[in-house]
Amino acid sequence: MAHRSWCAEQVDEPSNERLEFLGDAVLGLVVADHVYRSYPALSEGQLTDARKAVVNATCLAELAAELHLGEALALGKGEDAAGGRHRPSILADALEAVIGAVYLDGGWEAARRLVLRMLSARVVDAVAGLGAQDHKTLLQELVAQQFGQPVRYHLSEVGPDHDKEFTARAVVDGVERGVGRGPSKKRAEQAAARVALERLALDAALAGAVDVEG
């Protein structure tokens, strides 16, 4: 958490820049490995675009803000007074430093689990946003690959004809994986598929960690 502005005011205190360097490399590999294994139909260019959509300063700064990392930063007086705790570049660098520290302390699987817990939902949206596929299509392909069977959607609706709300439940291998709601069946199913994709991606990450650790 030690920013170089703070280190400049201290004596022989290292900044988080070396950890940031390491965390950046670990982050990139985790995401590249995840999209490569999870989306076999994507081309090299699409894999690159999916990775870039989540491994960037804007995305990392948003995550760091959600984790309140700014509150934990050690900043120089001038940088702190200038709003450094909310500066996107500083927040993104700090998050990379945290990933690097987790990698050093807990190894590859600990870092992998951390990254995918933070980014799996954003990866799902990034892949769906490539322009060729929606969440339902992505889920169907993933489920066919992992379970060899189709996704089943259970639909229900409430409200009058002019103002209905639909609820869709995505069931995979007999287990409800996602629930979504919307003003139409299609939008409810898309919402349910998105949740199911996020959960399956995270489950796969955790299962992979257990397999390796076991």
Closest CA to 43 of 164, 123, 127: 127
| CA 17 distance to own-chain centroid | 23
Residue in the structure block whose two tokens are 């090299």: 44
Distance CA 91, CA 161 (A): 48
- Please identify every residue annotated as catalytic: 24, 96
Distance CA 150, CA 191 (A): 17
Residue in the structure block whose two tokens are 């001038």: 78
| CA 52 distance to own-chain centroid | 12
Closest CA to 153 of 114, 181, 127, 111: 181
Contact criterion met (CB below 8 Å) for 167 and 156: yes
